Structure 1
């Protein structure tokens, strides 16, 4: 048969309902979309738990080495892959506000990198950084000045520091940025993804000339979320990770079933002289048509499901899970080929008796 004739035959089977294209397309779309959306929700859950872990400050590691922390070395840790920001801190004299003489505000000298660790802009104009709740209490905004016992203090910016289990010292304090030079008391590094090797790099900020190295400790800014969160292990070990092979298996079985239920018709065609090659081409075209429609339906349903969940990186989640419906199409074609190859002309009467 010519290809045009094969294409015409496949088209008639699809239009007249002989191939049951609508039924199999809806069935494959439902199975693959369900599996893909279920896995997408799981992936989004991992993303959100990781984001909450980082937002809580649990990814920040703090090396405490009083008067032994080299500020410049601490700042340079931010150039290491996986260290999002790093900066040094040391206690400074309290700030006495004229409006609150009896309640001085604790102050800390910090390097610009520590402002970045707290989510601020280290390139902001000179001045003090205040926690947002304290700024609301004082009624000030960035750029305004606060009268103090030693002069005026410009508010360079505000940082969020919620009461969620993190070290509470900076919840009510003024941070005074200064150049990264000399010795400080602590080095803070925001490390993500967490890695023990990267955490060990904090010791690179230790003054090698210090004699009291045994006083050095490395801890976590916020321990309420656990010591660590292995996002990669959570992702690779998720229970719905078998969604892709499940979609492929569903496509294979449905593609095989779509041909096998027509084995009497196909065996009769072989008996009447149609070549197996032409028969195979016809079934592949029909299967490609309804499985292609199925993957479009599943992809649209997955897109709606991912969009409704509102993840931060929706495109990445979609690309991970759309592979399931795509694999189902390839598997359905393989199933159709296997179905045609298992049909035997000599079994025509048996197929007729068992119809």
Structure 2
């Protein structure tokens, strides 16, 4: 390190230690102003993720194709739609043979035979309340039906035809979704053969993906009915648009303005000191590096606190990706820090030795 560089670093260190820089106060100002914007942006993003999760968990992203007059859905084609375009999962359904529980012998229990893809959809739209880990067979019961039978996941359901294992219990609330599985038993079957309905989850929601379901129809079939498992929350949820149009989308720009002003004010508060240094023939170039070093030190501390606070804000109650939320909100803090350094440099360059007497009178 050259003599001049060591002198600049040493002077910056002394100013930080003696309190000349007022590092603590500027760091606190940055955390409150810029950090507050970053935390606010993180919480708004969490709200967007919560709305998207509510849309998806209500089954609003599940598109349905049905023909109740006959079974015209090709199970293999329907199951094969999973992963095509924006279809996150797909599966077929058909009515199965009703069963009778030994403790409810007077009532037939509705049974739906489904391909494995429907069971996968249940994990995102029906939020299983009980699941037997690693279960490969058995039946799934709607929670209302399980409560009526006094049954839980892992139990054996005694029917008039024998015993059957309960692999899971799923929730099917009355929130506007199709009531087809509201009080029913679900049995997984191979995808071969024909079915009555085809369900596919388009996520992120995409109305254009609905046309793909028609490819699951058997040749020559007609009169299909295309719909939505739950239409109470609208036909689609524009996740990208919601993120882009969120109220805090301009937070990085606002933080940049705040940081620019903060950097300038921090330097202008020491204008008499800086003008005196210039009068003592300290090159403005070295003075600029000294002020940038000082600002960099208190900014590092402020950014550490801001990053931690933003991380907590991005994590609490968020069903979305933590790192993506944290990084997006962190752009606000980054923009504020960069602007603060620019403001510091602008403040130094705006300080004039010839204004020393005026600065002295204004102190």
After TM superposition, the score normalised by the length of structure 1 is 0.91
Q: Does the aligned pair in 2 maintain the 1:112–1:123 contact within 8 Å?
A: no
- Tell me what 2:168 maps to: 157
Unaligned runs of 5+ in 2: none
- Tell me what 1:233 maps to: 241
- Tell me what 2:195 maps to: 184
The 3 A distance-change label for structure 1 pair 11 and 154 is closer
SS in 2 for 1:331: helix
Aligned counterpart in structure 2 of residue 317 of structure 1, from 321, 325, 345: 325
**Structure 2: distance between partners of 1:92 and 1:275:** 87
SS in 2 for 1:190: strand
- Tell me what 1:167 maps to: 178
> Alignment RMSD, CA only?
2.2
Aligned counterpart in structure 2 of residue 58 of structure 1, from 41, 60, 66: 60
Q: Cα deviation per residue 1:308-349 (whole Å; 9 max; x = unaligned)?
A: x33233333222212222222221111111111112222223
**Structure 1: distance between partners of 2:163 and 2:307:** 60
- Tell me what 1:75 maps to: 79
How far apart are 1:169 and its partner, in Å?
2.0
The 3 A distance-change label for structure 1 pair 84 and 21 is same
- Tell me what 1:244 maps to: 252
Unaligned runs of 5+ in 1: none
Q: Does the aligned pair in 1 maintain the 2:27–2:299 contact within 8 Å?
A: yes
How far apart are 1:238 and its partner, in Å?
0.4
**Structure 1: distance between partners of 2:249 and 2:142:** 42
**Structure 1: distance between partners of 2:58 and 2:20:** 59
The 3 A distance-change label for structure 1 pair 310 and 99 is closer
The 3 A distance-change label for structure 1 pair 207 and 10 is same
- Tell me what 1:45 maps to: 47
Aligned counterpart in structure 1 of residue 309 of structure 2, from 296, 301, 304: 301
Equivalence map 1:5-20=2 (5 Å): 5-20=7-22
Q: Cα deviation per residue 1:151-184 (whole Å; 9 max; x = unaligned)?
A: 4444343322222221112111222322111221
Q: Does the aligned pair in 1 maintain the 2:60–2:233 contact within 8 Å?
A: yes
SS in 1 for 2:201: strand
Aligned counterpart in structure 2 of residue 255 of structure 1, from 263, 281, 289: 263
- Tell me what 1:193 maps to: 204
Aligned counterpart in structure 1 of residue 37 of structure 2, from 32, 35, 38: 35
How far apart are 1:36 and its partner, in Å?
0.9
- Tell me what 1:277 maps to: 285
Aligned residues: 351
Q: Bigger shift: 293-302 or 335-344?
A: 293-302
After TM superposition, the score normalised by the length of structure 2 is 0.89
